[in-house]
Structure 1
Amino acid sequence: MADNGPSNGSPSDLKPDDRTGDSSRQQDKFSPADSIPATRALDVIGAESGSCTQIKSENAIGNLSPSSGPSSLQLKELNELPASLSRGWRFYGAFGTLCLVTFIIALDSTIICVALPTIAEDIGATAIEAFWCGTSFLLASTVVQPPVASLSHIFGRRPALLASLTVFTGGSIMAALAKNIAVLLGGRTLQGLGSGGILALTYVIATDLVSLRERGKWFGLISLNWAIGSILGPLIGGALVEVSWPWLFWINLPFCGIAYIAIPITMRIKRKRDTSVNTKIKEFDWIGTIIFVGSLTSFLIPLSCGGIMYDWSSPRTVIPLVFGILGLISFGIHIKFCRKYCKCDPLLRPSLFTSLTALSAYFATVIHGITVWCLLYYVPLYHEVRGSSPITAGVAVMPFTGTVAPAAVIVGLLIAKTGTYRPFIWAGWVLVPIGMGLMLLLDNHTETFRWVLIYLTGGLGLGILYSAQAFAAQASASNSDLPFAASFYAFCRSLGQGIGVAVGGVTFQNEFRKQVEKSPEFASKANEWAKDASALVQILKKSPSSMQLMKDTIIDGYINGLRTVWLVLTLLACIALLVSLVCVKAKSLDRKFETEHALDQAGPKEKKDQRVPEVNV
């Protein structure tokens, strides 16, 4: 497959069949921004033509050579650009709001982890039902992302974000009021739907606010808030569950209230086109959405619960998997011919998958998601087996999570400065397999300083990739596809998390079972123990010293099972490194910045001077 993604993001990269203003993509009139050389570190606002607000990035290539500079007349014209198009309080307020909602969903995704045994006991739920409290959130969050991103392109970013926040808030209230497992699962599913929409829109809106080259440092700030929320989740959850577990969900409401106020104030989005509601409804790919959501759900559910609720060879596991795979294949065929036969924009644009660089980036992002989720789930389990409390085990993950955030921010700044991303991707995928490989040395007696250093190595690599990996996907996309590339990147990471549950679970259970079967005294219990490893930890802690043989057998099973998980993660990381070295090509990050959803910072005076009617959404 040819790697034919755009290299400079010129207007010619825009496809004539894009439904968002096909006939209006005309040659821009002269603006002072068009003559600014590449070396100028300025955000220059260009002419607004057709349905797109076109903005020169800080390193946009102009008509002058790099050695020349703008004339005094051009500088005067540049300084007279309307204040409404410069970065003001709404820009920083909008990004602050994105960071806030990111923090909320990150906190909620991890706050319940240490509290599940207490919640299950209080409402009379089984271990499998408690397992679904986490799984339902993850599955719902994954499948909803592409549809929400597509809806935001048709109906507007702000309505989509407010709708997602409303669903998340409703789910939080429902979960907090739950008196039985059915209501709790319903609340967690709603939270997952809202969380997935918020996550996808965070990346989409970020592409509307900053140029491609600058995007790394702002994505890094979003990752920082995600890491803070993920770190605080288990700690706050462990503290609140001692008081009353419904507070795990009530705690979301003050943050949601602030977001409800901030979103309408800061995110006044300008759109250059508006259509009737009926036209908007017809533009959405309803058929593709039904195929995609149904197929992906059919694929992920058995992948998540295989070996836990049903054996992997059971028809209840195999049949949904087969139907899911066939459905996803049919979805791929649908999006290729969607415009021709359905007369609407496809849910996922086929042009996202024409570049080898983009495909390799999406593939590596899935592996990144698998790795992160396996570590978040199994590293605390490793420490609990060693005798740590749930809160202490949550703290033990901090060398991973605490390294990810600063690494993501620093790498984002460096990419914005240098304009290159490949060395950072390679560095990340070198560090990750080293870190995962060193984890093979972990046993029940590993000293603290050793596992801290090992975790720091892997966390540094994962943090680098949080920022760097996104550039490979976005730099390969045309300007009109950038928001879709950003949202699909977020989806791939969530998909990796969903697959990570299965990869880690299958790997751990099989090896744990083999180790226990080696002990004649407990071989008959091997299958039962392997299916409910988390609950077994609590039994292990409460077992008297007279049952030391059983405890030693279980601990050996855990250590060897986890070691196999680390080995699989090492192999996957090596594959991602190889793919990145071979397939990721260098693409320019200096391009004209175009968006149909520009942030409106115009005051009353500037609004009177606008020549094209705009719709605030």
Structure 2
Amino acid sequence: MSHRQVLESLSGLLLGMFVSILAGTVVATSLPLIVSDLQGDQSAYTWVVTGTLLATTVSTPVWGKFADLFNRKLLIQVALVVFVLGSALAGFSEDTGTLIAFRILQGLGAGGLAALSQIIMADIISPRERGKYAGLFGAVMALGTIGGPLLGGVVTDAFGWRWNFFIALPVAVVAIILLQVTLHLPARVKRVVSIDYLGIVLIGGGVSLLLLWVTLAGKSFAWASLPSFAMVLGAAILLIAAVIVEFRVKEPIIPLDLFKNRTVTLAVIASLAVGVAMFGTSVFLSQYMQLARGATPTQSGLLTIPMMGGLLIASTVFGNLISRTGKWKAIMVSGSVLVLAGSLLLGSLRFDTSLVFVGVFMFILGAGVGMIMQNLVLVVQNTVEITHLGVATSTITFFRSLGGTVGVSVMGSVLGTLVAQYIRDGTATLSPANQLAAMQTLGDGTIPQVSLLPAALRIVVESAYGTGVGNVFLIMVPLAIITLVMIALLPNIPLGTMTGIERERSGTDTDPTTGQILVGVSTASVALPPVAPDQRR
């Protein structure tokens, strides 16, 4: 395909990605106001985010496996419809319970969009060329992540927060039409497929129970308590059963022989911390700006631009550099160093930290994420068998989402505990009248609207959230160190020059343990004419 043909095929894909990101980020700056308006507390705030991430995490390997079995173009259109439907329904929520339920539906679609966009890109672009196009995905991601909070803040201030959930609908319709018109993939050979329903249930149940435990422990019950032990034991039993099932079924959701590939194993571990950096910062920086700095939703969106600006610049510049040189290892190691540095710097946040310094800290972390996030998927796609391209891609996305979900849950739990303690300590130094006012406005644990608080209480709340958010970012530091080590250990395998479709046509595949190209391996799963042996390269 020529450069123009690739861009035409990617247009609907990129717009679909933009819709999914926009619908997710447009509410980011408004969440404190939304949860407050719906009478929710810190736990509800965390679950509005965690519910979406949980559904995304659980559904991602399912979408990835379906991509190896069914029509990928139809699958991504279905995922887009599910995502936007969940977003639109969330706009009618009357309490945090219904909001969380519809956000879960939204997450089911997001899992498909996250996995399928990467899989389809691998179908039509070779690993060597994928860097510069991955820069386009990074640019779209950054544009949606920057523009979403800004647009959400303006819409919230002008029309109310419910409109945040409706504005993506017309763009989604255009994206579905573009996908139908511009994306042309070869028809897959029809065959009898075996769907691993038991594996879906066991993996989904085990991961969900584990995340429920992380979210509820310390609030609804003690960490060392009977309910806590029961949930951990239940999750362990379900996940062990899932491993046994995946070894035995014909078409496993996550083929465990993937982990014989050193690149896959190391990239999976590295993806966990990347997920925490991606999702944790977007969630808690919004709280920091509004609850510690008194910013409006619009101002909050503007103040978080440096984070996404760093991601945009790094993913675009270094994506093109990888395509030109074929060198990726040094770039990814440098990116993991920036993630570690950004995590440490954000851990120093307080309610009176200079916003210039906050912007610099966010830019450093964003640049680090931009240098490694897409490239982790790239190096895995470069080394796996073509028949496992979909499931390998979704596995990396799955563990990235899992890291983000667990990270947000843990960070939210820690933040709720810290803020409650800091507020108690702060109000103890106030006058009796202010202590009574604090009891009336802050005693039920709901997230306050800072601008409506008396001056004395406002200082206490801003200080509590400023210090609390800074401290929870320190949770990312040990994970960032693990990411640095894992990326440093990745085998430095050269990037291939054949697209996924070309590999299927030519019968060329990759050794799953060494990443070396194999020639003459039968991988045909698409209805394409055979290529003569002397044309294979």
The question of 1:558 aligning with 2:470 is answered no
In the TM superposition, what whole-angstrom CA distance separates every residue of 1:46-84 from its partner, at most 9, and x where no partner exists?
Answer: xxxxxxxxxxxxxxxxxxxxxxxxxxxxxxxxxxxxxxx
In the TM superposition, what whole-angstrom CA distance separates every residue of 1:474-508 from its partner, at most 9, and x where no partner exists?
Answer: 33323332332222222222112211212312333
The DSSP-based 3-state class of the residue aligned with 1:445 is coil
CA 1:535–1:513 in structure 2 vs 1: closer, same or farther (change >3 Å)?
Answer: closer
Contact 1:404 1:462 in 2 (8 A): yes
TM-score, normalised on structure 1?
A: 0.73
Q: Could you tell me which of 271, 285, 288 is aligned with 1:365?
A: 271
2:241 counterpart residue number: 330
Deviation at 1:455, TM superposition (A): 2.1
For residues 42 and 415 of structure 2, the distance between their equivalents in structure 1, rounded to whole angstroms, comes to 18
Percent identical residues: 26
2:53 counterpart residue number: 138
CA 1:467–1:179 in structure 2 vs 1: closer, same or farther (change >3 Å)?
Answer: closer
One-letter code of the match for 1:535?
A: I
The DSSP-based 3-state class of the residue aligned with 2:87 is helix
CA 1:295–1:205 in structure 2 vs 1: closer, same or farther (change >3 Å)?
Answer: same
2:257 counterpart residue number: 351
For residues 122 and 513 of structure 1, the distance between their equivalents in structure 2, rounded to whole angstroms, comes to 20
For residues 152 and 386 of structure 2, the distance between their equivalents in structure 1, rounded to whole angstroms, comes to 42
2:165 counterpart residue number: 249
1:570 counterpart residue number: 477
1:504 counterpart residue number: 411
The question of 1:274 aligning with 2:184 is answered no
CA 1:405–1:310 in structure 2 vs 1: closer, same or farther (change >3 Å)?
Answer: farther
CA 1:446–1:180 in structure 2 vs 1: closer, same or farther (change >3 Å)?
Answer: closer
In the TM superposition, what whole-angstrom CA distance separates every residue of 1:439-492 from its partner, at most 9, and x where no partner exists?
Answer: 344333322322222222222112111233223323332333233222222222
Contact 2:423 2:464 in 1 (8 A): yes
The question of 1:114 aligning with 2:22 is answered no
For residues 267 and 485 of structure 2, the distance between their equivalents in structure 1, rounded to whole angstroms, comes to 12
Contact 1:161 1:201 in 2 (8 A): yes
For residues 396 and 215 of structure 1, the distance between their equivalents in structure 2, rounded to whole angstroms, comes to 32
For residues 119 and 247 of structure 2, the distance between their equivalents in structure 1, rounded to whole angstroms, comes to 23
For residues 502 and 38 of structure 2, the distance between their equivalents in structure 1, rounded to whole angstroms, comes to 48
Q: Could you tell me which of 424, 434, 449 is aligned with 2:341?
A: 434
1:341 counterpart residue number: none
Contact 1:203 1:490 in 2 (8 A): no
2:520 counterpart residue number: none
Deviation at 1:519, TM superposition (A): 5.6
One-letter code of the match for 1:472?
A: V
Contact 1:371 1:569 in 2 (8 A): yes
CA 1:177–1:575 in structure 2 vs 1: closer, same or farther (change >3 Å)?
Answer: closer
Q: Could you tell me which of 153, 156, 174 is aligned with 1:258?
A: 174
One-letter code of the match for 2:27?
A: I
Contact 2:35 2:447 in 1 (8 A): no
2:309 counterpart residue number: 402
Q: Could you tell me which of 277, 282, 301 is aligned with 1:376?
A: 282
The DSSP-based 3-state class of the residue aligned with 1:508 is helix
Contact 1:411 1:424 in 2 (8 A): yes
Aligned residues: 500
1:10 counterpart residue number: none
Structure 1 residues 410-419 or 179-188, which shifts more? 179-188
Q: Counterparts in 2 of 1:408-419, with a 5 A limit?
A: 408-419=315-326
In the TM superposition, what whole-angstrom CA distance separates every residue of 1:526-580 from its partner, at most 9, and x where no partner exists?
Answer: 9x97995x714x2x433323xx3x5554444333323322322223212221232
Deviation at 1:266, TM superposition (A): 1.9
**Structure 1: runs of 5 or more not aligned:** 1-85, 339-343, 600-609, 613-617
For residues 173 and 553 of structure 1, the distance between their equivalents in structure 2, rounded to whole angstroms, comes to 37
Deviation at 1:103, TM superposition (A): 0.7
1:212 counterpart residue number: 127
1:469 counterpart residue number: 376
1:288 counterpart residue number: 199
Q: Counterparts in 2 of 1:89-100, with a 5 A limit?
A: 91-100=6-15
The DSSP-based 3-state class of the residue aligned with 2:186 is strand
2:67 counterpart residue number: 152
The question of 1:195 aligning with 2:110 is answered yes
In the TM superposition, what whole-angstrom CA distance separates every residue of 1:100-144 from its partner, at most 9, and x where no partner exists?
Answer: 111111111122233345545666767755654333222212211
Deviation at 1:318, TM superposition (A): 4.4
Contact 1:380 1:396 in 2 (8 A): no
For residues 437 and 116 of structure 1, the distance between their equivalents in structure 2, rounded to whole angstroms, comes to 26
CA 1:117–1:139 in structure 2 vs 1: closer, same or farther (change >3 Å)?
Answer: same
One-letter code of the match for 2:126?
A: S
Contact 1:411 1:467 in 2 (8 A): no
1:78 counterpart residue number: none
Contact 2:29 2:153 in 1 (8 A): yes
CA 1:380–1:558 in structure 2 vs 1: closer, same or farther (change >3 Å)?
Answer: same
In the TM superposition, what whole-angstrom CA distance separates every residue of 1:209-250 from its partner, at most 9, and x where no partner exists?
Answer: 111111222222112212211222222222222314432222
The question of 1:535 aligning with 2:430 is answered no
In the TM superposition, what whole-angstrom CA distance separates every residue of 1:398-433 from its partner, at most 9, and x where no partner exists?
Answer: 111111012112111111222222111110111121
CA 1:517–1:251 in structure 2 vs 1: closer, same or farther (change >3 Å)?
Answer: closer
**Structure 2: runs of 5 or more not aligned:** 506-527, 531-537
Return the index of the structure with the highest Cα Rg.
1
For residues 468 and 139 of structure 1, the distance between their equivalents in structure 2, rounded to whole angstroms, comes to 23
For residues 443 and 471 of structure 2, the distance between their equivalents in structure 1, rounded to whole angstroms, comes to 14
One-letter code of the match for 1:266?
A: T
CA 1:181–1:215 in structure 2 vs 1: closer, same or farther (change >3 Å)?
Answer: same
Deviation at 1:196, TM superposition (A): 1.4
Deviation at 1:252, TM superposition (A): 1.7
One-letter code of the match for 1:445?
A: D
CA 1:93–1:312 in structure 2 vs 1: closer, same or farther (change >3 Å)?
Answer: farther
One-letter code of the match for 1:364?
A: A
Structure 1 residues 254-263 or 550-559, which shifts more? 550-559
TM-score, normalised on structure 2?
A: 0.84
Q: Counterparts in 2 of 1:77-96, with a 5 A limit?
A: 86-87=1-2, 91-96=6-11
